[in-house]
Amino acid sequence: MSDIKKAFENGKALIPFVTAGDPDLAVTQKLLIEMSKCGADIIEIGIPFSDPIAEGVAIQEADLRSLAAGTTTDKIFNAVKEVRSDIKCALAIMTYMNPIFVYGTDKFMSKCSECGISAVIVPDTPFEEKSELSVACDKYGIELISMISPTSNDRIKMISKEAQGFVYCISSTEASAKAVDIGKTVSLVKSVNDIPCAIDFDISTAQQAKEMAQSADGIIVSSAIVKIVAKYGKDCIAPVCDYVKSMKEAIS
């Protein structure tokens, strides 16, 4: 069983997100270590990109801060590798097609494997074009995470059938983030693939986490943590850890 699937073996999984290099990579390293101790089951590490089309304002601003601080993909890989043995949970990289292609797809997946990263999430990769990444992912044992939304309709089963690790369910721009919609979406996924489903519907409070987790196998918390980092800067470790603990307790 993969590290990603193992993360869902002991109840609902908590998947927090951090932008690598915001405010700097030394803080990112500490966050990865401490969040893994505070209840994170998988940590999603965002590689900063100048055109993050799938992100909201908070993460866009975090990307710009990180890039301004001189963060590069190689520096991120090196930072993760340095502390990987101290991180007690699975890791996933969140990035876009362009940074991977510029870096070199084969080289990128090789570095992921070398650094103990188990999966990659690439929001701008259409299902029909995923082979451009999946060949290299398979070569190095990296799982390519599939993304769906409640409005994916007939595509949900098609995408889910070939999904690896877990299915990443995102909210649409419509007012569709209701438990009933989530439950229906999860049921469609599991009708073709016995795979965990985690949801990212801009969850920010413990109550939201508790409600959403009732219909899925895990929750993804992204912009809320990025906002804490933005507020506290280098002093963000304790407040982020307190937040992660509270979210884990809410879904346990």
Reference 146, options 215, 110, 192; nearest CA is: 192
pLDDT for res 81? 98
pLDDT for res 177? 47
pLDDT for res 54? 62
Question: CB–CB of 205/225 below 8 Å?
Answer: no
Reference 120, options 110, 109, 105, 104; nearest CA is: 109
23 upstream amide cis, omega within 30 of 0: yes
pLDDT for res 58? 87
pTM: 0.94
In Å, how far are 156, 160, 194 from 94, measured between CA atoms?
Answer: 21, 19, 23
Q: Is the dihedral of CA 207, 212, 213, 215 positive or negative?
A: positive
β-bridge mates for residue 15, sequence order: 220
d(CA 14, CA 252): 9
pLDDT for res 179? 45
pLDDT for res 203? 87
What are the backbone dihedrals phi and psi of residue 171, each rounded to the nearest 5 degrees, phi first?
-80, 155
> Residue 153 in 3-state DSSP?
coil
d(CA 80, CA 58): 23
Is residue 169 exposed (0-12), middle (13-18) or buried (19+ Cβ within 10 Å)? buried
Burial of 85-120, coded b for 16+ CB within 10 Å and e otherwise, reads eebebbbbbbbbbebbeebebeebbebbeebebbbb
Question: CB–CB of 222/215 below 8 Å?
Answer: no
How many C-beta neighbours within 10 Å does residue 183 have? 13
pLDDT string in tens for the chain (252-residue length)? 689 999 999 899 999 999 999 999 999 999 999 999 999 999 999 999 887 666 678 898 999 999 999 999 999 999 999 999 999 999 999 999 999 999 999 999 999 999 999 999 999 998 888 998 999 999 999 999 999 987 777 899 999 999 999 999 987 544 444 444 788 889 999 999 999 999 988 888 999 999 989 989 999 998 999 999 999 999 999 999 999 999 999 999
Amino acid at 181: D
Q: Would you give the distance in Å from CA 129 to the centre of its chain?
A: 20
Domain ranges of the chain: 3-7+13-251
Architecture of domain 3-7+13-251: Alpha-Beta Barrel (3.20)
